[in-house]
């Protein structure tokens, strides 16, 4: 059986470094299975900056979280639409665009790759 998987990009909330989150489709949901540091040049070369996914994003029990700070949560910036790791703060700052915003839960998200 073939596995449908993609890599979506995020930035660390403390280090501001780029990383990839591997997601795998299972029963109509996207499951985060792995995270790894990546350079912008390689992310672009691999096409990770163009990935667009819609759905829920759960994680496996052994998902390692952000490779820089270990945080397992993430948020999508309401201004630029990019991902950042998140550690439960009620207000946070996007490491891509610098905008501050409140954070709320969502059952389903539209996630877009990059555009540095």
Q: At 25, which helix (H) or strand (E)?
A: strand 18-26
Lowest mean pLDDT among 38-47, 68-77, 80-89, 97-106: 97-106
Q: In this predicted structure, what is the pLDDT of residue 103? A: 78
Helix, strand counts (H, E) of the chain: 1, 10
CA distance 83 to 13: 10
Write out pLDDT tens, residues 9-66.
Answer: 999 999 999 999 999 999 888 999 999 999 999 999 999 988 888 888 899 999 999 9
For the purposes of burial, counting CB atoms within 10 Å of the CB of 77, is it exposed (0-12), middle (13-18) or buried (19 or more)?
Answer: buried
CB–CB of 35/15 below 8 Å?
Answer: no
Tokens describing residue 41: 């040049």
pLDDT bin (cut points 50, 70, 90) of residue 106 is: low
Q: 100-102 and 91-93 as β-strands: parallel, antiparallel, unpaired? A: antiparallel
Higher-confidence residue of 2 and 105: namely 2
- Taking the model in full, what pTM does it have? 0.88
């Amino acid at each position: 059986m073939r596995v449908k998987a993609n890599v979506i990009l995020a930035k660390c909330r403390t280090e501001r470094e780029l990383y990839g989150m591997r997601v795998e489709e299972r029963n109509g949901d996207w499951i985060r299975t792995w995270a790894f540091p990546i350079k912008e040049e390689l992310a672009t070369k691999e096409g990770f900056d163009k990935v667009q996914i819609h759905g829920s994003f759960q994680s496996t029990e052994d998902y390692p979280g952000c490779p820089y700070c270990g945080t397992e949560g993430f948020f999508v910036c309401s201004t630029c639409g990019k991902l950042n790791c998140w550690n439960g703060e009620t207000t946070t700052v996007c490491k891509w665009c610098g905008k501050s915003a409140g954070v709320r839960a969502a059952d389903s998200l539209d996630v877009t790759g990059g555009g540095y």
